[in-house]
Amino acid sequence: MDNKDFDSQRPRKKASRETIRKRQLIALCVIALLVLILILLIAKACSAGTTGGKKKNEVTTTTTITATTTTSFETTTAVTTTEASTEPANTSDFKLDKYSFDLKVGDTDMPMVQGYPEGSGEWNEQWSSSDENIATVDEWGNIKAIAEGTCFIILRDGGDPSQEVQIKVTVSGEDSTQPTTTTDNTGATEPQSAEAAEAPAPSRISVPEAHYEGDTLIVNKSFALPATYDPKDLDPTCKDWFYKLASGAAKDGVNIYLSSGYRSYDYQNTIYNNYVNEYGTDTADTFSARPGHSEHQTGLAIDVNTIDDSFAGTPEAIWLAEHCWEYGFIIRYPQGKQAITGYKYEPWHIRYVGSAISKKIHEMGDDTTLEELYGLTSQYE
């Protein structure tokens, strides 16, 4: 190569460097623009999260931006948007023991309401389902799984509809209501009912003021619990065996459901005082316990179905009286025993005591009371 040829190449070499610098500058500008777009998208997402409130089937959006620079300084961008379902947060004043359930077709369950908006209570509960083809809910909050899928059970305050909490329910396809089977000596199988097993005695509570007879906690007009005792929910064993009871009733074509379970000292105080204001102390004392004297505070008592005299004589009441002992429960306030228990006949009120005691009472007569079994009184001082 001679000098002339070399000189003729220099201008092109200088122009190439300038082009490279320009391309580098363009690439940097594009990257800066993409960073700015990403910042704006993040700011928008944060703004939506703080102002959007709680909505059904709320979704979050994730945006990914990728910048690629090739050796020739060409810039390629890809924007990918994905959506992911999220469970709505509880922004209400309701407090529940559970905010999601994984059920199988045929299962039933119930979230326990542990706290209400100010001035409200169970009388203001309004329950609904976002998709009754997947799961239904009754007026007391009993959830039943119908078909595979996911839906939301909604609890609203009837006095303030802005107070709303959602419970996510996921239903899988297996029906868990089918009875289990055992195999006899011939190899044949036969159904095994829940009552074939022994319902264990309830766990003892560590409260000095609590009165026990053997493994049985006694709460009546003579024996009370302190205001500080607050288990916040039904006893887990009691709840488990109640659902077995309800399942056994369903197999016999009878619908037994939980209407009222655990009640705190303060909540019972509100209920009792309302009745006193309406009926007077003497009448209220025949059907409502004073605070500390309510079995509902133990977490071992359940009111089922309709909580009034119309429940008496119904197929559900008859079934409950005949079969509740098989699941470790007793009718706590039998007919004709008001002078002993201190309360009028309540066919809807059952108490979990475990199989050892429920069988003993059944053998003595289903209208036998805990006071008669242990030789106790039930009278306010």
- Alpha-carbon gap, residue 224 to 211, rounded angstroms: 8
With tokens 């009733």, the residue in question is 249
- Alpha-carbon gap, residue 22 to 44, rounded angstroms: 33
With tokens 């409950």, the residue in question is 320
Name the CA radius of gyration of the chain, rounded: 33
326 belongs to the catalytic site: no
Q: 297: which strand partners? A: none
Nearest to 332 by CA among 316, 318, 349, 311: 349
Nearest to 190 by CA among 180, 198, 200, 199: 180
- Alpha-carbon gap, residue 257 to 304, rounded angstroms: 6
Q: 109: which strand partners? A: 143
Tokens at 58, concatenated: 């709320």
The set of long-range contacts for 89-95, using a CB threshold of 8 Å and a minimum separation of 24, is 89/54, 90/165, 90/166, 91/53, 91/54, 92/117, 92/157, 92/163, 92/164, 92/165, 93/117, 93/118, 93/163, 94/155, 94/157, 94/163, 94/165
- Active-site position among 125, 346, 372, 381: 346
Q: Contact, 378 vs 220, CB < 8 A?
A: yes
Burial 330-364 (b: 16+ CB within 10 A, else e): bbbbbeebbebbbbebbbbbbbbbbbebbbebbee
- Alpha-carbon gap, residue 23 to 72, rounded angstroms: 9
Q: Catalytic residues, which ones?
A: 346
